[in-house]
Amino acid sequence: MTREALFEQIQQKKSCLCVGLDTDLNRLPKHLLQYSDPIYEFNKRIIDATKDLCVAYKPNIAFYEAMGARGWESLAKTLEYIPETHFTIADAKRGDIGNTSSLYARAFFDTMDFDAVTVAPYMGEDSVKPFLEFEGKWVILLALTSNKGSQNFQFTTQEKNQPLYEKVMRTAMTWGNAENLMFVIGATHPEKFQEIRQIAPDNFLLVPGIGAQGGDLEGVLHHGATDKCGLLINSSRGIIYAGDGIGFAGKAQLSALRLQKVMATTL
């Protein structure tokens, strides 16, 4: 999906919401366990309930690969069920050198046909560039993440008092551009969005941490949005686990709607 096509969807829906499909078999409503593929059944109902309110879906690959072949099958069916109008992100956090990265890229872009994949930048240029070689596909590079452990390394200052996450962003922008490179910036760091926009004024940012992690949605929208929106704001547990009984999909829809209404005031 192109940047313009993504922005068109955002404009039409007045939403930059991304729904994270972090689907855990142990957290599914009990009545779904009667189905032959309860993971897929859950995802299908979440998608039906939220597709008019969001522009993207982000399956976290760990929840599927932990189940082996059965999990990969659930993921493939889920990906096929997501409407073509929606941006799809493989939250895989891959990153390795040379041919290994090329094979990861082929897996997610060619075999599964995701629009984007999250990539860890620690191993540097030759671990990221193979993902950037696929036309029409996106790399979403981990920069400033929403978890507590982000403090361990990402704020470490480099030369000229430059934090590591800033070094990552400035360097990566010489590898890709605003048409194929996004950055992960956690909503739990709302005070950083103004300076991040000075570093990357045009790139889309994937923003986790809204909902269960307590990120500041209004602050992110105010400081992070551009004239082309430039944001994909993710909520996973806060939407898909908003309810845990027969009416879980309706609760998920209400949770997504609350976020979309806030987004509509800015977009």
Tokens of 227: 């004239």
Give one DSSP letter per residue of 51-74, joined into a string: TTT-SEEEEBTHHHHTTTHHHHHH
- Whose structure tokens read 């993207």? 56
The one-letter amino acid at 16: C
Strand stretches in the chain, DSSP E: 17-21, 56-59, 87-94, 116-119, 138-144, 181-185, 205-207, 231-235
How far apart CA 248 and CA 144 sit, in angstroms, is: 32
Does the active-site annotation cover 93?
yes
Question: Which of 181, 186, 176 shows the shortest CA–CA distance to 155?
Answer: 186
Judge whether 216 and 193 are in contact, CB under 8 Å: no
Catalytic residue, chosen from 14, 44, 77, 93, is 93
Q: Is 185 helix (H, G, I), strand (E, B) or coil?
A: strand
- Give bridge partners of residue 181 from the DSSP assignment: 139
**Gap between the Cα atoms of 81 and 19, Å rounded:** 14
Question: How many C-beta neighbours within 10 Å does residue 148 have?
Answer: 9
- 21 DSSP β-pair partners: 59
Which one-letter amino acid corresponds to residue 55? V
The catalytic residue positions are: 93
